[in-house]
Every structure is written in C-alpha cells, then in structure tokens.
Amino acid sequence: SQTIHQWPATLVQPVGSPLSLECTVEGTSNPNLYWYRQAAGRGLQLLFYSVGIGQISSEVPQNLSASRPQDRQFILSSKKLLLSDSGFYLCAWSVILGDEQFFGPGTRLTVL
C-alpha cells in the first residue's frame, strides 16, 4: 500500500531563516506531487505541483520554491522566511493529475 511521509511535524523558525520541508511517498512510482498551505480557519491553497523529476509548476507567486530531486521526493524551501509563511503545510500525491489525492500528515510551521 502507498504511504506518504512529511517531516518535520512541527517547526518554529525566526524571520529571515531558511526553510526545508520534505515529503516522500512509498509504494507507488511516478506520482504527481503537490504542496498546499492551509492558513488558520481557511481552505487549502495549492502552492506547487510536480508531474515528474525536476518538473515544478507554481500556482502562486511567493517567497517559497519547490524541488523534486527524486521520483518520490518533494521538497519545499525558502531562503528567507516571512511572518506570513506561517501555516500548516500539506503534501499530497495522486496517480492522475488533479484526480484523487492523498494527503500527508502535514507540517505546522510557525515563523516568529
């Protein structure tokens, strides 16, 4: 069966520090991968998605970037965090782009 992992589970970072969140999927090959951000009391905002290694599509211009160095690994990064980057970051995968998606447990990021 397929499993999706995210780490760390929680992170507290100062403004201006770098960020690296990691997501890995097990039990499937060539998944479509997604990064979402969820602000408190709001829905899920799609940040990036990837259909293959090295292929990244950005949905919202921002302070963040994404990379996919391996088939089942998706990384969310920032060079300098802003207060507004705080939120709950979710990784997801799907077999077909835009179809049935399965979410990871999320990373709670607090920028102080």
- Which residue in this structure is represented by tokens 């905002």? 45
79 forms part of the interface with other proteins (CB under 8 A): no
Parallel/antiparallel/unpaired status of strands 55-58 and 3-7: unpaired
Give the residue, chosen from 14, 43, 54, 69, that forms a contact with other proteins under the rule CB under 8 A. 43
Name 9's Cβ contacts closer than 8 Å, sequence gap at least 6: 105, 106, 107, 108
Token output for 108: 């709670």
- Does residue 95 bind other proteins (CB under 8 A)? no
Residue window 3-42: x/- pattern of binding to other proteins, with contact defined by CB under 8 A: -------------------------------x-------x
Q: How far apart are the first and last CA of the chain?
A: 38
Q: Is 50 one of the binding residues for other proteins (CB under 8 A)?
A: no
Instruction: Note the residues at the interface with other proteins (CB under 8 A).
Output: 34, 42-44, 46, 49, 59, 90, 92, 97-106, 108
